[in-house]
Structure 1
Amino acid sequence: MKPIWIVDDDQSIRFVLEKALLRDDLPTRSFTNARDVLTALAQDDDAGPQVLVSDIRMPGGSGLDLLDKVKARFPALPVIIMTAFSDLDSAVSAFQGGAFEYLPKPFDIPKAVELIRRAVEESQREEVSEERDTDAPEMLGQAPAMQDVFRAIGRLSQSNVTVMITGESGSGKELVARALHKHSPRANGPFVAINTAAIPKDLLESELFGHERGAFTGAQTMRRGRFEQADGGTLFLDEIGDMPFDLQTRLLRVLSDGHFYRVGGHGAVKTNVRVIAATHQNLEQRVKEGGFREDLFHRLNVIRLRLPALRERREDIPMLTRHFLQQSARQLGVEPKRISEAALVWLGNFGFPGNVRQLENICHWVTVMAPAQMIEPKDLPPEVGVSEGVDLNDAVGAAPTLALGEAELPVNLPLSSPLPATQPVRLLAEAGEHSWEHGLELDASLLLKTDRTDVWDELTRRFESRLISAALAATRGRRIEAAQKLGIGRNTITRKIQELGLE
Structure 2
Amino acid sequence: MKPIWIVDDDQSIRFVLEKALLREDMPTRSFTNTREVLAALEAATDDEMQGPQVLVSDIRMPGGSGLELLDKIKARHPGLPVIIMTAFSDLDSAVSAFQGGAFEYLPKPFDLPRAVELIRRAVDESQREEVAEERMAEAPEMLGQAPAMQDVFRAIGRLSQSNVTVLITGESGSGKELVARALHKHSSRASGPFVAINTAAIPKDLLESELFGHERGAFTGAQTMRRGRFEQAEGGTLFLDEIGDMPFDLQTRLLRVLSDGHFYRVGGHNSVKANVRVIAATHQDLEQRVKLGGFREDLFHRLNVIRLRLPALRERGEDIPALTRHFLQQSAKQLGVEPKRISDAALVQLATFGFPGNVRQLENICHWLTVMAPAQLIEAKDLPPEVMALAAVEAPAADASAVQAAAIEREAPSAAQQHAGATSSTPAAHAETAQIAGWESGLEREAQSLLAAGRNDVWDALSRRFESRLILTALASTRGRRIEAAQRLGIGRNTITRKIQELGLE
Q: What is the TM-score of this pair, normalised by structure 1?
A: 0.51
Distance 1:223 1:153, change over 3 A: same
Distance 1:194 1:368, change over 3 A: same
Match of 2:239 in 1: 236
Match of 1:385 in 2: 388
Selected match of 2:338 from 322, 335, 340: 335
Match of 2:378 in 1: 375
Selected match of 1:278 from 277, 281, 305: 281
Check conservation: 1:233, 1:274, Cα contact below 8 A.
yes
Does residue 139 (structure 1) correspond to residue 142 (structure 2)? The answer is yes
The structure whose residues are more often helix, as a share, is: 2
Distance 1:253 1:135 in 2: 42
Distance 1:201 1:382 in 2: 37
Selected match of 1:264 from 259, 263, 267: 267
How many corresponding residue pairs? Answer: 263
Gapped runs of 5+ residues in structure 2? 1-136, 400-506
Kindly provide the CA deviation profile for residues 376-400 of structure 1, in whole angstroms up to 9, marking residues without a partner as x: 111111111144697434999xxxx
Distance 1:388 1:252 in 2: 47
Distance 1:389 1:160, change over 3 A: farther
Kindly provide the CA deviation profile for residues 103-138 of structure 1, in whole angstroms up to 9, marking residues without a partner as x: xxxxxxxxxxxxxxxxxxxxxxxxxxxxxxx99531
Selected match of 1:203 from 186, 202, 206: 206
Query: Which amino acid in 1 is paired with 2:366?
Result: C
Does residue 153 (structure 1) correspond to residue 156 (structure 2)? The answer is yes
Distance 1:382 1:303, change over 3 A: same
* Cα displacement (A) at 1:249: 0.2
Higher RCO, 1 vs 2 (CA within 8 Å, ≥6 residues apart):
2
Match of 2:258 in 1: 255
Any idea what SS the aligned residue of 1:193 has?
Answer: strand
Match of 2:134 in 1: none
Selected match of 1:345 from 334, 343, 348: 348
Higher mean C-alpha deviation, range 369-378 or range 307-316? 369-378
Kindly provide the CA deviation profile for residues 459-482 of structure 1, in whole angstroms up to 9, marking residues without a partner as x: xxxxxxxxxxxxxxxxxxxxxxxx
Check conservation: 1:385, 1:395, Cα contact below 8 A.
no
Any idea what SS the aligned residue of 1:254 has?
Answer: helix
Kindly provide the CA deviation profile for residues 37-76 of structure 1, in whole angstroms up to 9, marking residues without a partner as x: xxxxxxxxxxxxxxxxxxxxxxxxxxxxxxxxxxxxxxxx
Q: What is the TM-score of this pair, normalised by structure 2?
A: 0.51
Match of 1:310 in 2: 313
Distance 2:397 2:281 in 1: 40
Kindly provide the CA deviation profile for residues 206-248 of structure 1, in whole angstroms up to 9, marking residues without a partner as x: 0000000000111000000000000110000000000000000
Counterparts in 2 of 1:187-202, with a 5 A limit?
Answer: 187-202=190-205
Any idea what SS the aligned residue of 2:160 has?
Answer: coil
Distance 1:372 1:164, change over 3 A: same
Counterparts in 2 of 1:401-420, with a 5 A limit?
Answer: none
Query: Which amino acid in 2 is paired with 1:189?
Result: G
Structure with higher Rg: it is: 2
* Cα displacement (A) at 1:271: 1.1
Selected match of 1:360 from 360, 363, 370: 363
Distance 1:177 1:389, change over 3 A: farther
Give runs of ≥4 in structure 1 deviating > 3 Å: 386-396
Distance 1:182 1:322 in 2: 24
Distance 1:193 1:314, change over 3 A: same
Match of 1:428 in 2: none
Identity of aligned residues (%): 88
Match of 1:226 in 2: 229
Distance 1:389 1:273, change over 3 A: farther
Query: Which amino acid in 1 is paired with 2:184?
Result: H
Distance 1:360 1:380, change over 3 A: same
Distance 1:136 1:197 in 2: 31
Check conservation: 1:346, 1:387, Cα contact below 8 A.
no
Match of 1:11 in 2: none
Counterparts in 2 of 1:150-189, with a 5 A limit?
Answer: 150-189=153-192
Query: Which amino acid in 1 is paired with 2:333?
Result: R
Check conservation: 1:386, 1:392, Cα contact below 8 A.
no
Any idea what SS the aligned residue of 2:168 has?
Answer: strand
Does residue 296 (structure 1) correspond to residue 296 (structure 2)? The answer is no
Match of 1:432 in 2: none
* Cα displacement (A) at 1:299: 0.2
Distance 1:377 1:275, change over 3 A: same
For the aligned residue pairs, the C-alpha RMSD in angstroms reads 1.9
Distance 1:174 1:219 in 2: 31
Selected match of 1:287 from 266, 286, 290: 290
Counterparts in 2 of 1:111-150, with a 5 A limit?
Answer: 136-150=139-153
